[in-house]
Amino acid sequence: MLMATQILLADGHEGIRKLIREIISQRSDWHVCAEASDGLEAVEKAKSFCPDLALLAIGLPGLGGLHAAQKILDACPQTIVIADSLHDPLPLLAEIKKVGIRAFVSKTRIGTDLVPAIEAVLAGKTWVNLEDSNRCLSLEEAIQGARRMVWAPDPTFEGFSCSNCRWRISTEDAGNLKNIEQSFAGHTCTDYPSRAKAAGI
C-alpha cells in the first residue's frame, strides 16, 4: 500500500486551516502531518517532518510565506510548495517561480482550486488560476500573460506605467498604442524593483 502524501499546512487563520484540513481529509491518499500558524513555525515543522508538500499562506505572520518557502526548500529540497493568498498574484508570479513555489491558489477559490492544484504539482506540473482566465495555467503561461497585461495609463504622470514595477514611458515617447505595446513586449518585471500600484492601475 502506498504511503499517503504528507502535507504541511501553514496559515495564520484557524478557520482557513480548518477548511483546508477538511478538503484534504476527503482524500485517503493525502494527510496533514503538521500545522503552523506563522512562518517561523512552518519552517521548524518542515525541518522536523520534511513533508511531501507544504501549503503556505503568502501573508504568514512572523515570516512571510515567500521567505518561509525559501527556507523550507533549502532544508527540504524534495518538498513541493504551494502558495495561497487573498491578494492578486500577478505582481508576485515571477518571484513565486524564482523561489521554487510550484502553484498558487486564491483563498477565495480554495474549495474549487486546491485539489486540482495539488494534483497538478504531484504530477510534476506548475499551476495557477488567474481571475480573468477561463482555464488553469502553468506558472510560465501565467507569467507570460502578466507581461502582456501590465501596461496601463499612469495617473501619477503623463504617460503609461507597469503596474508591477518602476518601469514607465511618457505619452510623448509612447506616441501611440502600437508603440506602447512594442515597448512593453520586451519588458520583464524581474529587471526592475517592485513598487506599490499607482491609483487606478
Domains in the chain (CATH in brackets) are 5-143 (3.40.50.2300), 151-191 (no CATH)
pLDDT tens for the chain, 201 residues: list them.
Answer: 568 999 999 999 999 999 999 999 999 999 999 999 999 999 999 999 999 999 999 999 999 999 999 999 999 999 999 999 988 777 788 889 889 999 999 888 899 999 999 999 999 999 998 765 556 777 777 766 555 444 455 555 566 666 666 566 666 665 555 555 565 555 655 555 554 443 333
Residue whose cell numbers read 478538503: 23
Q: What is the pTM of this model?
A: 0.71
Phi, psi values for residue 162, rounded to 5°: -70, 135
Phi, psi values for residue 9, rounded to 5°: -115, 120
Q: What is the pLDDT of residue 178?
A: 53
CA dist., res. 51 & res. 31, Å (int): 10
Question: Given the DSSP bridges, would you call strands 5-10 and 30-36 parallel, antiparallel or unpaired?
Answer: parallel
> Smallest Cα–Cα separation from 196: which of 117, 73, 87, 70?
87
Q: What is the pLDDT of residue 200?
A: 37
For the purposes of burial, counting CB atoms within 10 Å of the CB of 198, is it exposed (0-12), middle (13-18) or buried (19 or more)?
A: middle
Q: What is the pLDDT of residue 36?
A: 97
CA dist., res. 100 & res. 86, Å (int): 20
Amino acid type, 165: C
Which residues have a Cβ under 8 Å from the Cβ of 179 and sit 6 or more positions away?
173
